Structure 1
Amino acid sequence: MDFGCDPGEWTDAWSATGISHHWALGTGHCIAELKALADLMDVEFVEVDPA
């Protein structure tokens, strides 16, 4: 995955946005399962396209 910068810097910048610690970051091969789980739990699922 290309973050467009150093992955550590990206993580620091992303964390600085104030997003809570209740998040999950998964790669494409898990997306169907994550969507299904979010649906079952009635929680929002956000897919970010890295392209």
Structure 2
Amino acid sequence: MHGLEGYDMALELGDKAPDFHLSSTRKEKISLSDYKGRKNVLLAFYPLNFTPG
């Protein structure tokens, strides 16, 4: 699977996730690097949430 810019989106166990930026539900800018150094970070994506498919 490839992302919009052609980057390979599949990560293997132990791979580092690329840094990215999103807006929170409170309209705050958040980046993955904000959590660097923490013991665990869980990334959960629901690409079809809120869609009929």
Task: State the TM-score bracket (shorter-chain normalisation).
Answer: under 0.3
User: Which structure features the higher share of helix residues?
Assistant: 1
- The answer to which structure, 1 or 2, has the higher relative contact order (CA under 8 A, 6+ apart) is 1
Q: TM-score, normalised by structure 2?
A: 0.25
User: Which structure features the higher share of strand residues?
Assistant: 2
